Structure 1
Amino acid sequence: MSLQLRKSHVKGNMMDINMTLLFVVFTQGVLTESNNILTTQQLHTALCVETIAHRYFTPGSPLVISLPGMGQTGIHRPFLGILQHRDHLQMVNFLLENLNERTTWTIQIFQPEGDEIIDTSVLHHSYILFVWLDMEVTLNRTLGDQVEILKYSTSWNPRGRFVVVVSGHSSEPPQLLASLICAMLWQVASIANIVVLIPNQIAYRSLKTVTSLQTAEFDTLNLYTWFPYQSGRCGQLEDVTLLDEWMLEHNGRLSNEVDLFPIKVPNDLVGCPIRVATYGIDPYVILTDNYTRNDGTTVYRLGGLSVEILSLVCEKMNLKTVFSPPSINLELESAITQLSDLQAGITDVLTGIIILSAAAVNPTYDATVTYTYGYVKMIVPCPKRIPGMEKIMTTFSLSVWLMMVLVLLLTAALFWWAGNGPYHSVLKESHSYKSVSHCFYSVWAVLMGVSVPKQPTTSNLRVLFLLYVCYCFAMSTVFQALFVSYLVEPAHEKKIKTFDELQDSDVIYGYHPIVDLFLFTAEFPALQKFSENKKLKEECTEVRKCVQRTITKNDMASFTYPEFSTYVASELGIADESTVICYLEENLISAGLTMLLKKGNFFLDRINVLIRRCLEAGFLEKYWSELQHGAHVRSMDKLTDNLVRDVEPEEVNGRIWGEKEMSYHSEKDEYDNM
């Protein structure tokens, strides 16, 4: 009994294996037999796509061909799925053979449920997307899923050239179907540089051989596109434009031979709004005014270096800037909020203190060219001026001073001994050298370069006196030379130049969480060692106050951008900022400020061109000079107001009247001289 069951079980397995082998042989046979069979529509679709690729796709760059996923058919059995899409796969295979024979592009084939597309550092510039309308899924799934997965690749380029090939059955008119496709791609990935290829009559045809090319006169392949900023539109799709038609005759041809990928962003955008988000502090982002309209919306007016360069660009493009609530700080939460709004499409561009880094260059955002460039530096207290008495005392070292005092005392003692000692000479020494006090006065007088009351008379004392005069002359000459140099160029304390010197000093390190996070990613060993070993620390979330403290109190060091420190010094009324602003000699990291746009924004290329022109014309430097001058004038006005408050009203009125009277007389004299 068990033997019979075992035989029946083996027999059943053999039948399953035979059925599987039969399925494989049948499938291969069907596909092999169909390799040389295409409908006229499929043949001309492939020829049309090949012609477009040859004319408009960049040679040498990767070409991405995306197919709908087999898992999107709604059919769980692969046998039926393969048979159902056999015609479409034959057309794709025919197209791939022709494109590969040209060896012009590196072809990458992608499917949603297949392997991920290869990420490279080179952006893709050409895409061919296939849409099969006889699939039992919606258009959003068959095309939207392809784009949703493609756009997370680092090589994704929404501003590239896209060709969407539509084939299969549909009850929708070709123009309406093209509108749906363009609207979906614009909403999902901001794709506008697109050509939609749709047969004029999407209907089922019986398979015909390649050699059978007879078609009806109205059978064509329509090529549609749309212009997001044409006729007053501001990124809103109203209808599509029929660019050209592919005539299904002989080998096929384009009827009008027009440019299929024209410029989609005109130079004049007729006042379309652009929503601007800002992040940073002055002088990069300055809130100048804000007010509330009758409808309850708040209008913000902003200035600053980062806003001014964008305003110049928008003015040239004829864009109306609409500012969202600004983040005038350097808090991490504010940065995350602004980046999230940009990614969600709530805002169009983000400007301010946006450093061009790896965080800015990712598949989510596009960064413009940098509009200012410099180094992030550590601002430290400037060396203090050494007081006059301290400068005199430091002319010589302590050992030299002690030696001079010793020489003075020994010389005075020798003078007294020589004046009172036993001599065999008939000459007697003057009374001035027989008293200890008089000897000390004489020694001091010679040291100060003053004449003595009476010269010595004995030979021994004269020799000793001459040697002492030579010594005093040498020391006085050196002292006077150094002293005069101190008067001409006042001496200062030793400047802090390195992190090691800053670590050993009593200067407080003011750290900012975001700045530290950014700088520590740069792998700067000296900075990491300094931050770990520095004991005197204070959190410095308000960068302005920390820089002001460094300038005014000279007891704090913090990271800053040189332009910001210069602006703070101008606000404090300091004309020569080099006297109060000092930095470590080590440049921490080179940083350029940029603007961020959502991935695929069509304004990027135009904005980059206009930013370069503004920089070449010197507009930003002119605005920076005006900004510094305005800050300095405001500081002088505040100082004047403070002085006026301390003066009596009668004195102020007298000064004003005196100034008016002097002005009147000067104008009268000029009038009389005319």
Structure 2
Amino acid sequence: MSLLVLGLLLPIAMAKLGPETNDNNLSFTNDIVQQLDFGTMMIITFEEPNDELFYMFLQQVHLKGNFATFINVGSNLSTISEGIPDSFFIWTTESESITNTLEKLPSLNYKGRFVILLKKYEYLQQVLIKVQELNIVNIVLLVEQRNLSNIDAYTWYPYVSSEMCGKTEANLKHIAYYSVEIGWKFIQGSLFFPNKMPENLHGCPFKVATFPWPPFVLSSQLIDTVNDNVYANGLEVKLIEEITKTLNLSLSYLPAPPNDIKWGGRTNLNSWNGIIGDVAYGKADAAFASLTTTEERIQYFSPSVSYWSNAVIWVVPRSKYIAGWKGILMIFKPATWALLVVLYLVGSVLLCKVAKLTSNIREYPSFRNLAKCMTLTWASVLEIPINKMPKTQILRIIFFFWIAYCLVISSIYKSSLISFMTEPRLEASIETFHQLLESRLPLGYTVGLAEYFESRIQSSLVYCSDINWCLTYVAHHNNMSLVSDEWYVKYLIPIHFLDGNGISLLEILDEYVISYHVVMILSKGHVLLDRFNIIISRITEGGLLVKWMRDINMNRTLGDAAYSNDEWRRLTLIHLQGPLFLLLFGLGVSFVTLLLEVVCKKRLFCV
């Protein structure tokens, strides 16, 4: 389409341009084309092209061999299917038309090179204000005088001095002028598009919108919401401080968003709120708090390069401790317990049968009676000494192996029991999202996270306005789950969610709801975006972010009351549940036995 339009207009251009006109304006159009001579070009006009300079420019574009896109806008503007243009030449006689176009052009490349030809000086300031609002830096404004006999070239510099920073004033500079007699004459330099970003930005202000969000942004009171704008530490706080220090910018923070809006976004009324809204309305130059890119944010803002990875995860309550009396039985598996019972019965019967078969030597009656023999073997299991040993040699050998077997089993059981008492076991935990659904726990979520789930899951979600309160509820009530930020939860667990033994009260599922790359959000086409990306890339490649995060986590744990696995533990009622249960069970059996003896008026066990 572009080449077709260009081919139709070229014969008209050649017919309209005579040799004399072509020679007079050759240097003017040739120099402009030279500055725009890279990639794809887009030419925009708002009226019927009836200007000889326009056709001269069109001819030079054709001679250079670039693939130029020509769009006759009229009242509507066509989109570009070939891709984002690298340079633009805008031909207009009305300032209002160009300001509307700069806002609505869907394929506008803020990093491209722009040349705008204006017919009157009155349009210059108005267009410049719009250009500054849109952060278009690589631009040349041409103002025509006396029917192309003289043309002045202007541009603007975003950072000239500490008194003229960014968009505070119209930093307009007259860079060149053209006349038919001498051609182009540059006032300083020899380029229409010089490097406009100085190394030293003279302490110009740079405002940031954020809020406390550990470990990325830490206030002086750790995670507590504050109304002031002082941030003591944090991964992204360290990053922005290093960037502004390198560029010599004066860093300041806006107050945290009111009403716990936090990140914010686009509302149903097409307005913006939260820290995103502060950037959208020009209150802040950048925003960060573990932000990521979305299609909407890319359309309206300019994200930086990514510098950290994060994820949205499910947080569930830690499994409950197994009751002490259950733990006594769970030391062995049910099959092992069954085998031990069978071996006890077999051993008792074997001793009794062998005792009955010994006729040459009279054996003790305790070994010849099955009930009494079972009592003796049970006493061996409990490591209770017996006052009589078998008389026969064969019976002594069998009884010796039985005692050795009982000692081994008893040692294994007691060592496991001690381990269980000092380190109580936990019930089976929730490990997958499928198990979470089967557990019937309510599914809590915070602002902005419901969109990541299917519609069938969204209907089951429960909104949580205060993430800290909800995490505390999950940790101490064990009847709710919550989807949250992975690094945020991992940072808070050692501080607020450990029990007396230093074990986490929260568990994080291994399955990610979504993983994403963390970025800063800057205003669309921000003039410092490229400089930010270079510094961020160098810091990331140098491993400084990893070191900063390690230092933040280390400082977090200093002074915490968490116990390590190598330290002694204080026994509580939780640890003593099993022994107390055995004591009560034994006292109960003894009391029943006493009652039976009183009633029957005789001893139950006789030797």
Specify the TM-score bucket, using the shorter chain as the normaliser: 0.7 to 0.9
Q: Determine if contact 2:61/2:68 at 8 Å carries over to the other structure.
A: no
- Cα distance change on mapping 1:574 and 1:463 into 2, 3 Å: closer
CA drift at 1:460: 8.1
Partner of 1:661: none
SS in 1 for 2:449: helix
Q: Identify which of 99, 102, 112 aligns with 1:144.
A: 99
SS in 1 for 2:332: coil
> What letter matches 2:436 in structure 1?
L
Partner of 1:504: 438
2:137 corresponds to 1:192: yes
CA drift at 1:258: 1.0
Q: Determine if contact 1:279/1:350 at 8 Å carries over to the other structure.
A: no
Partner of 1:53: 33
Partner of 1:126: 87
Residues 136-179 of structure 1: per-residue CA shift (max 9 Å, x gap): xxx332322322321xx1x3222321111245xx4x4xxx7644
Instruction: Decide which moves more: 347-356 or 108-117.
Output: 108-117
Partner of 2:533: 608
Q: Identify which of 383, 391, 407 aligns with 2:327.
A: 391
Q: Determine if contact 2:158/2:196 at 8 Å carries over to the other structure.
A: yes
> What letter matches 2:241 in structure 1?
S
Q: Which blocks of at least 5 consecutive residues in structure 2 are unaligned?
A: 1-7, 222-226, 266-271, 562-607
Q: Determine if contact 2:314/2:482 at 8 Å carries over to the other structure.
A: yes
> What letter matches 1:566 in structure 2?
K
Partner of 2:75: 113
The CA distance in 2 between the partners of 1:41 and 1:461, in whole Å, is 130
Partner of 1:370: 306
Q: Determine if contact 2:442/2:481 at 8 Å carries over to the other structure.
A: yes
- Cα distance change on mapping 1:117 and 1:577 into 2, 3 Å: farther
2:209 corresponds to 1:300: no
Q: Number of paired residues?
A: 536
Q: Identify which of 111, 119, 128 aligns with 1:159.
A: 111
2:41 corresponds to 1:63: yes
Residues 94-144 of structure 1: per-residue CA shift (max 9 Å, x gap): 433432343334535352524522267x54331111123xxxxxx332322
2:77 corresponds to 1:99: no
Partner of 1:182: 128
- 1:167-246 equivalences under 5 Å are 170=120, 172=121, 178-187=124-133, 189-199=134-144, 201-203=145-147, 219-231=149-161, 232-234=163-165, 235-238=167-170, 240-246=172-178
Partner of 2:180: 248
Partner of 2:567: none
CA drift at 1:417: 5.7
Q: CA RMSD for the aligned pairs?
A: 4.2
Q: Identify which of 585, 595, 612 aligns with 2:510.
A: 585
The CA distance in 2 between the partners of 1:113 and 1:433, in whole Å, is 113
- 1:255-270 equivalences under 5 Å are 258-270=190-202
The CA distance in 1 between the partners of 2:252 and 2:22, in whole Å, is 48
Q: Identify which of 463, 474, 493 aligns with 2:427.
A: 493
> What letter matches 2:340 in structure 1?
M
Residues 16-43 of structure 1: per-residue CA shift (max 9 Å, x gap): xxxxxxxxxxxx99x9598243596777
> What letter matches 1:64 in structure 2?
M
* Structure number having the greater helix percentage: 1
Q: Which blocks of at least 5 consecutive residues in structure 1 are unaligned?
A: 1-27, 71-81, 133-138, 205-218, 290-297, 637-674
Q: Determine if contact 1:274/1:320 at 8 Å carries over to the other structure.
A: yes
Residues 462-492 of structure 1: per-residue CA shift (max 9 Å, x gap): 7875886687578668757866876898644
Q: Determine if contact 2:13/2:55 at 8 Å carries over to the other structure.
A: no
Partner of 1:35: 15
Residues 54-106 of structure 1: per-residue CA shift (max 9 Å, x gap): 34543xx32111111x3xxxxxxxxxxx5xx52x2x54344334323433345
The CA distance in 1 between the partners of 2:141 and 2:479, in whole Å, is 66
- Cα distance change on mapping 1:630 and 1:418 into 2, 3 Å: closer
CA drift at 1:323: 3.2
The CA distance in 1 between the partners of 2:155 and 2:456, in whole Å, is 58
Residues 482-530 of structure 1: per-residue CA shift (max 9 Å, x gap): 668768986443232111112222644322242122x23xxxx6xx666
- Cα distance change on mapping 1:402 and 1:238 into 2, 3 Å: closer
Instruction: Decide which moves more: 494-503 or 551-560.
Output: 551-560
Q: Determine if contact 1:429/1:456 at 8 Å carries over to the other structure.
A: yes
> What letter matches 1:159 in structure 2?
K
The CA distance in 1 between the partners of 2:483 and 2:316, in whole Å, is 9
CA drift at 1:599: 1.2
TM-score (norm 1): 0.67
The CA distance in 1 between the partners of 2:155 and 2:20, in whole Å, is 24
- Cα distance change on mapping 1:334 and 1:585 into 2, 3 Å: closer
Q: Identify which of 363, 376, 391 aligns with 1:442.
A: 376
- Cα distance change on mapping 1:617 and 1:332 into 2, 3 Å: closer
The CA distance in 2 between the partners of 1:359 and 1:508, in whole Å, is 30
2:465 corresponds to 1:541: yes
Instruction: Decide which moves more: 586-595 or 40-49.
Output: 40-49
Partner of 2:589: none
SS in 2 for 1:496: coil
- 1:423-438 equivalences under 5 Å are 425-436=359-370, 438=372
Q: Indicate the percent of aligned positions where both proteins have the same amino acid.
A: 21
Q: Identify which of 273, 291, 298 aligns with 1:361.
A: 298
- 1:344-355 equivalences under 5 Å are 344-355=281-292
Partner of 2:588: none
Q: Determine if contact 1:192/1:228 at 8 Å carries over to the other structure.
A: yes
> What letter matches 2:157 in structure 1?
F
- 1:396-475 equivalences under 5 Å are 396-409=332-345, 411-412=347-348, 415-416=351-352, 419=355, 425-436=359-370, 438-448=372-382, 453-457=387-391
CA drift at 1:602: 0.4
> What letter matches 2:289 in structure 1?
G
